[in-house]
Amino acid sequence: MGRFVALLKRPLTVAIAAILVLLAGGELLSPGFASPRQIVTLLTIAALLGVVAAGQNLVILGGREGIDLSVGGIVSFAAFLAGNIMRQSDANILQALAVVFGATFMIGTVTGLGVTLLRIPPLVMTLGMLGVVQGGLVLLTRGVPSGRAAPLLSRVVSDPVLFGLPGIVFIWIGVGIALTLVLRRTAFGFNVYAIGANEGAATLAGVPARRTRMLLFALSGFFSGLTGVLLLGYTEYVFVGAGDQYMLPSIIAVVIGGTSLAGGNGGYSGTMAGAIVLILLQSILTTLNIPPFGRQIIFGVTLLALMLLYGRQRRLRG
Amino acid sequence: MPALEKRPTRWSPQRRPFLMAVVVFLVLCAVNALLQPTFLRFGVAVSNVSAFLPMALVAVGQTYVVLASDIDLSAGAIVSLVNVAVVSIVDGMGGSAASIALGLATGVALGFLCGAFNGFCVAVLRFQPIVTTFATGIIFSGFALWILPEAGKQVPAAVYKAYAGAVVAVPTILWMLAAVIAFAAFLARTAFYQALRATGGNIQAAYQTGIPVARVRIGAYVISGAFASLAGLALVGETASGDPLIGGALTLSSVTAVVLGGTALSGCVGGVAGSILGAFILGMINNVIFFAQLPFEWQGLIQGVIILMALAGGVAMARGKAS
Amino acid sequence: MPVLEASGVRKQFGGVVALAGAQFALEAGEVHALIGSNGCGKSTLCKIIAGSVAADAGRLALDGRAVSFAGPREAAAAGIRVFYQDLSLIPQMSVAENIFLGREPRRRNGLVDRRALRTAATAALAEFREVLGAGIDADARVADLSADQTQIVEILKVLAAAPRIIIYDEATAALDRNQVDAVFARIRALKAEGRSIIFITHRMDEVFEIADRVTVMRNGMTVMTSATRQTTRDALVTAMVGEAHASRTTKARHAPSDETALEVENLASDKLLGVTFALRRGEILGLGGLHGQGQSDLLRALFGALPIRAGTVRIGQQPLVLKGPRAVMRRAVAYISGDRARHGVMAIRPIFENLVVSLLARERRVVVARRRLEAIILPIIERLKLKFASLDATVSELSGGNQQKVVIARWLATSPMVLLLDDPTKGIDIQTKQDLYATMDELCGHGVSILFHSSDDEELLAVADRVLVFNGGRIVAQLSGEQRTRFALYRAAYATGDSDAGA
């Protein structure tokens, strides 16, 4: 019985329950909402958010107020870069991927250096980095969208591969499996949890805290880069601020998924569920033809309600 | 051996980021004065203060929340909400003196209410501050859109003329700034402020000491909401109209201003003076870039790099002594 | 009628029973010692009395009237104040601000009177001026103070509230003998004023020195209360352990060899002024003296956790580069701190992760093979008698002593040849201490060498083969054989000039 209650209280369980309730509710309110086609679309959009949130998840797990506000800017930057290198030609894909992943990994590394060597709080460092990336993007694009996805990329991302699901969903599942394995079955993963839980003790236990933390930010840059490429594949060409929409939702997805913002506790499976919950919620509000202000209010209230379920902090009184 | 009586630790490493902010501010002033010869004229200075005031107000309110080791990501939304609410009330009632009074009162009351709601969610319901105030911010801007779906409506000329005018030969703007500084100086000498810092420094210890930590945190959010509402009012005076999105950018820049001014996000350390300075620095950076006549495309990047460097410098200086 | 009476107090944390019907009565004007092994529930009982923990059941009465506190604020209003073992200070605030936190002197207009605050704090500090050491005044930041100074500030904070019931939860843990004397003098004065004191300690001497009565707790229950004069050390230990007399001193079986395991030459850092010594293979070399004279700094510097200015260190014949913990641990060196919360465990993580983290770092493997790791870990934790429900339970569910065992096991898994023990028994119950002594002895028998810093002088003298006495960052004496006496230790520790060193 106690075990059952504990299972019910697990964020992942709550998130999955929320998904089912939202799907059922959506179907009730607007028949066809939970149709297979609709679900595929939802999963595709959720995958984009989910991959950004993977990086966000890592940074948050590493603790010390870990958070990455630069993800949105990097997504836009990566999409721009990829589109301009590909220019609708399949031949340029590998080159584009190499440049994008290299560049975004580097941006993340610079953030990581600021956080570890200069000890700048992540919130501030990534906020500053966001300004730089956005400013750089304006300089490069002159505010005009440019570049287009290679056809192969668009096909891989959007076309059904298996069971009618598009490639992006499998890429997301692949990210999910890889990240979960890394976190649970590798020394790096153990180190991430260790520095998230108690950096001082972890360092004295021989954990390379600095290197690990730097890598977390670099990986967050990489995942934002991957999202930029996927976004480009999904929409074929990308406007300048396309990635901005991911900044705060990526954090929310992580928190809804049960990863503590204090670090050291949580995992990626919950975050995946969290991303789906967020997208479902937004989608229901859109299908219901509620005016934008109403959508916003309901969205905010629902977030608060989810916090009430399990996003609460420890009592001060034992 | 009797210990030497030291003066209060005015120049301790904790204060270094603030000093750094002072230096950056002075340098920016110098550069600005070089690029814009009229910079030091009284009128220009007042118009600069007037332009920076809304962000400074939000940053001041944000400071108290950050001192308690929380954060208010809804501040910008409160600014928007108050802005459109005031304009709509004044406009809806025909712009009479009574409507202006009611509008101002409602605006401030809304700020208090929003702040109290944030505080309640964070301190009583124990929600995580970042996510909570992000969510309440969405709600507040939803209400702002409800009241006024798009920018528009007008307030009577009397309002913005009074705002841009002078009282006893001193511009209204400067009176407001002086009032803010006086209020902050007063608050810094209260027991509440000590309790606020203690809560930010170590909430468990503060609780065990008997500090009413929940009340203190709510208080900080209410102050933040109140200052955001003042910023909303200032924007009414500045723009003479309403805009449901006007405060959006103020949230994150207020956090930047607070940190630039030397207040630690981890709480307890810092103060309002630095945040005002931080807000002015952010405004001055824009000025300098504008008057340097840089190509438009470069502005964002340069601004980003300067802010990042200033942040990095301030934080690095604070850690200078720590091993 | 007792001033304070608790009866039938129960408290459960998750699945762990902390209190199973504890009784306690405090008379007016008495010093009442509360002792028991770690996890026996004494801290929990005190926190319930102080309102910072809510009891599941039970009755609390003040002056015979039932009370129920909603929080520490209400308890404080009723005149109860606690010296918290984990301290309740704000590191970034000044000593004065901390001492008077929540009760700042006010001016007539209601604002905080900063000058009065400093004056009052300076006056409070003056009482302990003799034993406080340098670098502390009303304006100093608490974060910049040493551990003993911080503890005294917490003591002053408690006193500033002029409570009628004071609970000292391990208030002397980081204090040296002089400081303890000063605190005891104050406690006697408080007693004379009719105030009542609950005194929790792990040092038996202190019980007999200061307490009028003593209550022993075991497994969440009160097992005995007696006037201190009518009981003996052995009787108390027996009550605590719950079985036949557990001897405190260990009979060392190991014998150090003449071979040098670790050689330190002229090591200098912020706190160390040219430290030179040699640790022999299979030896327990004690580091003693007053608090904060460089013992901990030496151990942390040797582990690469504190920067050094000069000096050479050799293991065997090879120089050891103190680049960082990772570089040092590769040479089979391990560091174990008594400050478990900060330097030991990752409390919110599972026991398994806590156990293998160093081994993973040492082996530099990529993949975690759980079964292989368990095969290494399980025999070690069995030997250390670690009590745990499951390897996947979080460390925070363990008692302090068992948490320390996790840290020890973590390092034993890396098969270290040199152990750096930095006050590892701080705040640990007798049984766990005994287990640790036995383990140390056994390890030395296998050729492991141990540098052992302890703030408990008796333990230090009993366990170490030799003792290096520190004073002001230097080694001022070396005690071995028959010289290992309290007298010799104190004489060297309290010596002021270099020439006056004992030995």
pLDDT at B8 over 60: no
Nearest C-alpha of chain A: how many angstroms from B142? 4
Least CB–CB distance from B138: residue in A261, A296, A312: A296
Distance CA C233, CA C40 (A): 18
Amino acid at B310: A
Distance CA C82, CA C163 (A): 9
Min mean pLDDT across B185-189, B317-321, C157-161, C464-468 is at B317-321
Average pLDDT on C359-376 reads: 91
* Predicted local confidence at residue C464, as pLDDT: 93
Average pLDDT on C73-88 reads: 91
Indicate the pLDDT class of residue A91, thresholds 50, 70 and 90: confident
Cβ separation A303–B131 shorter than 8 A: yes
- Restricting to A residues 256-295, those with a Cβ less than 8 Å away from any Cβ of C are 264-265
Residue of C nearest to B207 (CA): C72
Contacts B186 to C, Cβ<8 Å:
111
- Cβ atoms of A228 and A78 within 8 Å: the answer is yes
- Restricting to C residues 406-425, those with a Cβ less than 8 Å away from any Cβ of A are 410
* Predicted local confidence at residue C503, as pLDDT: 35
What b-and-e string marks burial along C434-458, b requiring 16 or more CB atoms within 10 Å of the CB? ebbbebbbebbeeebbbbbbbbbbe
Indicate the pLDDT class of residue C266, thresholds 50, 70 and 90: very high
* Better-predicted residue by pLDDT, C248 or A116: A116
Token pair listed for C357: 């983290």
Indicate the pLDDT class of residue A4, thresholds 50, 70 and 90: low
Per-residue pLDDT tens over the stretch C239-255: 877 654 344 455 566 88
Could you say which of C415, C437, C459 is where a domain stops? C415
* Predicted local confidence at residue B285, as pLDDT: 87
- Shared domain for C35 and C155, answered yes or no, is yes
pLDDT at C429 over 80: no
DSSP for B30-58, written as a single string: HHHHHH-GGGGSHHHHHHHHHHHHHHHHH
Per-residue pLDDT tens over the stretch C91-119: 999 999 999 999 999 999 889 999 999 99
What is the H or E stretch that residue B160 is in? helix B157-164
Indicate the pLDDT class of residue A46, thresholds 50, 70 and 90: very high
Distance CA C306, CA C272 (A): 11
Indicate the pLDDT class of residue C301, thresholds 50, 70 and 90: very high
* Predicted local confidence at residue B158, as pLDDT: 81
Token pair listed for A41: 């679309």
pLDDT at B178 over 90: yes
Average pLDDT on A150-176 reads: 90
- Specify the residue for token string 């030896």: C283
Would an 8 Å CB–CB cutoff place C154 in contact with chain B? no
Instruction: Give me the sheet containing C466-471, strands edge to edge.
Output: C333-337, C418-422, C449-453, C284-289, C466-471, C474-480
Token pair listed for C274: 């040219």
Could you say which of C215, C246, C277 is where a domain stops? C246
Cβ separation B304–A143 shorter than 8 A: no
Cβ separation A200–C342 shorter than 8 A: yes
Query: Cβ–Cβ contacts within 10 Å for residue B10, how many?
Result: 8
- Cβ atoms of C107 and C113 within 8 Å: the answer is yes
Amino acid at B90: V
Q: Crossing angle for the helix pair A122-141 and A71-86, nearest 10 degrees?
A: 30
- Shared domain for C87 and C215, answered yes or no, is yes
* Better-predicted residue by pLDDT, B201 or A258: B201
Instruction: Tell me how long chain C is.
Output: 503
What b-and-e string marks burial along B284-318, b requiring 16 or more CB atoms within 10 Å of the CB? bbebbbebeeeeebebbbbbbebbbebbbbbbbbb
pLDDT at C439 over 70: yes
- Shared domain for C406 and C464, answered yes or no, is no
Q: Which range, B34-43, B120-129, B150-159, C484-493, has the best average confidence (pLDDT)?
A: B120-129
Least CB–CB distance from A204: residue in C53, C337, C349: C337
Contacts C357 to A, Cβ<8 Å:
190-191, 194, 202, 205-207
Per-residue pLDDT tens over the stretch A47-59: 999 999 999 999 9
pLDDT at C502 over 60: no
Would an 8 Å CB–CB cutoff place C1 in contact with chain A? no
Would an 8 Å CB–CB cutoff place A3 in contact with chain C? no
- Cβ atoms of B150 and B92 within 8 Å: the answer is no
Least CB–CB distance from A190: residue in C52, C364, C368: C368
What b-and-e string marks burial along C268-290, b requiring 16 or more CB atoms within 10 Å of the CB? ebebbeebebebbbbbbbbbbbb
DSSP 8-state secondary structure symbol assigned to residue B125: S
- Shared domain for C219 and C78, answered yes or no, is yes
Share of chain C above pLDDT 90, in %: 64
Cβ separation A300–B304 shorter than 8 A: no
Exposed / middle / buried, residue B11 (Cβ in 10 Å: 0-12, 13-18, 19+):
exposed
pLDDT at C133 over 80: yes
- Restricting to B residues 242-271, those with a Cβ less than 8 Å away from any Cβ of A are 252, 255-256, 259, 264-266
Amino acid at B127: F
Cβ separation A255–B131 shorter than 8 A: yes
Average pLDDT on A170-178 reads: 96
- Cβ atoms of C281 and C449 within 8 Å: the answer is yes
Residue C280 phi, psi dihedral angles, 5° rounding: -90, 160
* Predicted local confidence at residue C38, as pLDDT: 61
* Better-predicted residue by pLDDT, C257 or B227: B227
Query: Cβ–Cβ contacts within 10 Å for residue B247, how many?
Result: 31
* Predicted local confidence at residue C16, as pLDDT: 67
- Shared domain for C264 and C149, answered yes or no, is no
* Predicted local confidence at residue B18, as pLDDT: 83
Nearest C-alpha of chain C: how many angstroms from B266? 10
* Predicted local confidence at residue C500, as pLDDT: 37
DSSP 8-state secondary structure symbol assigned to residue C395: G
* Predicted local confidence at residue C482, as pLDDT: 84
Distance CA C68, CA A289 (A): 53
Cβ separation B130–A114 shorter than 8 A: no
**DSSP-assigned beta bridge partners for residue C405:** none
* Predicted local confidence at residue B2, as pLDDT: 36
Cα–Cα distances in Å, from C36 out to C54, C56, C240, C373?
A: 21, 21, 5, 35
Per-residue pLDDT tens over the stretch B225-252: 999 999 999 999 888 889 998 988 899 8
Query: Cβ–Cβ contacts within 10 Å for residue A226, how many?
Result: 24
- Shared domain for C107 and C162, answered yes or no, is yes
Distance CA A248, CA A92 (A): 32
Per-residue pLDDT tens over the stretch A15-43: 888 888 888 888 888 888 888 888 898 99
- Specify the residue for token string 């028998």: C445
Residue C92 phi, psi dihedral angles, 5° rounding: -80, -5
What b-and-e string marks burial along A150-169, b requiring 16 or more CB atoms within 10 Å of the CB? beebbebbbeeeeeebbbbb
pTM: 0.83
The per-residue pLDDT of chain A, averaged, comes to: 88
* Predicted local confidence at residue B153, as pLDDT: 85
pLDDT at C7 over 70: yes
* Predicted local confidence at residue C244, as pLDDT: 43
Amino acid at A95: Q
What is the H or E stretch that residue B16 is in? helix B16-35
Indicate the pLDDT class of residue C498, thresholds 50, 70 and 90: very low
pLDDT at B323 over 90: no
* Predicted local confidence at residue B302, as pLDDT: 84
pLDDT at B5 over 60: no
Domains, chain A: 34-310 (1.10.3470)
Could you say which of C246, C267, C282 is where a domain stops? C246
Least CB–CB distance from A205: residue in C342, C365, C410: C410
Average pLDDT on A124-135 reads: 89
* Predicted local confidence at residue C39, as pLDDT: 65
Distance CA C453, CA C467 (A): 9
Per-residue pLDDT tens over the stretch C25-66: 999 999 999 988 766 788 889 999 999 999 999 999 999 999
Q: Which range, A294-308, B303-317, C304-318, has the best average confidence (pLDDT)?
A: C304-318
- Shared domain for C501 and C387, answered yes or no, is no
Average pLDDT on C392-405 reads: 88
* Predicted local confidence at residue C499, as pLDDT: 37
Nearest C-alpha of chain B: how many angstroms from C57? 21
- Cβ atoms of B108 and B230 within 8 Å: the answer is yes
Cα–Cα distances in Å, from C225 out to B145, C35, C215, C219, C246?
A: 69, 10, 4, 15, 20
Dihedral angle of Cα B91, B97, B98, B100, to the nearest 10 degrees: 50
- Give residue ranges of B with CB < 8 Å to any C CB: 1-3, 5-9, 12, 14, 186, 189-191, 193-195, 197-198, 201-202, 204-212, 268-269, 323
Which candidate in A188, A192, A193, A204 is best for mutational testing of the C interface (most C CBs within 10 A)?
A: A204
Per-residue pLDDT tens over the stretch B256-304: 899 889 888 888 989 999 999 999 998 988 888 888 888 877 878 888 8
* Predicted local confidence at residue A9, as pLDDT: 63
Query: Cβ–Cβ contacts within 10 Å for residue B43, how many?
Result: 9
Per-residue pLDDT tens over the stretch C170-218: 888 778 888 999 999 999 999 999 999 999 987 788 899 999 999 999 8
Cα C186 from chain centre: 22
**DSSP-assigned beta bridge partners for residue C227:** C213
Token pair listed for C503: 């030995």
- Shared domain for C233 and C274, answered yes or no, is no
- Shared domain for C169 and C152, answered yes or no, is yes
Token pair listed for C193: 């004023």
- Shared domain for C121 and C257, answered yes or no, is no
Chain B, chain C: beta-carbon pairs less than 8 Å apart = 98
The per-residue pLDDT of chain C, averaged, comes to: 88
Number of domains in chain C: 3
* Predicted local confidence at residue C497, as pLDDT: 40
Q: Crossing angle for the helix pair A209-235 and A36-61, nearest 10 degrees?
A: 160
Distance CA A17, CA A33 (A): 17
Cβ separation A190–C357 shorter than 8 A: yes
Of C21, C25, C23, nearest to C3 by C-alpha is C25
CATH number of C439's domain: 3.40.50.300
* Predicted local confidence at residue A296, as pLDDT: 85
* Better-predicted residue by pLDDT, B230 or B4: B230
pLDDT at C13 over 80: no
Cβ separation B8–C139 shorter than 8 A: yes
pLDDT at A84 over 70: yes
The per-residue pLDDT of chain B, averaged, comes to: 87
- Specify the residue for token string 């006549």: B293
Residue spans of alpha helices (H) in chain A: 2-9, 11-29, 36-61, 71-86, 93-116, 122-141, 151-158, 167-185, 187-197, 199-204, 209-235, 247-256, 268-287, 292-310
* Predicted local confidence at residue C494, as pLDDT: 62
* Predicted local confidence at residue C248, as pLDDT: 46
CATH numeric code, B46-319: 1.10.3470
* Predicted local confidence at residue B9, as pLDDT: 46
Of A215, A164, A159, nearest to A189 by C-alpha is A215
pLDDT at B201 over 80: yes
What is the H or E stretch that residue C224 is in? strand C221-227
* Better-predicted residue by pLDDT, C248 or C325: C325
* Predicted local confidence at residue A107, as pLDDT: 96
Q: Which domain holds residue C109?
A: 4-246
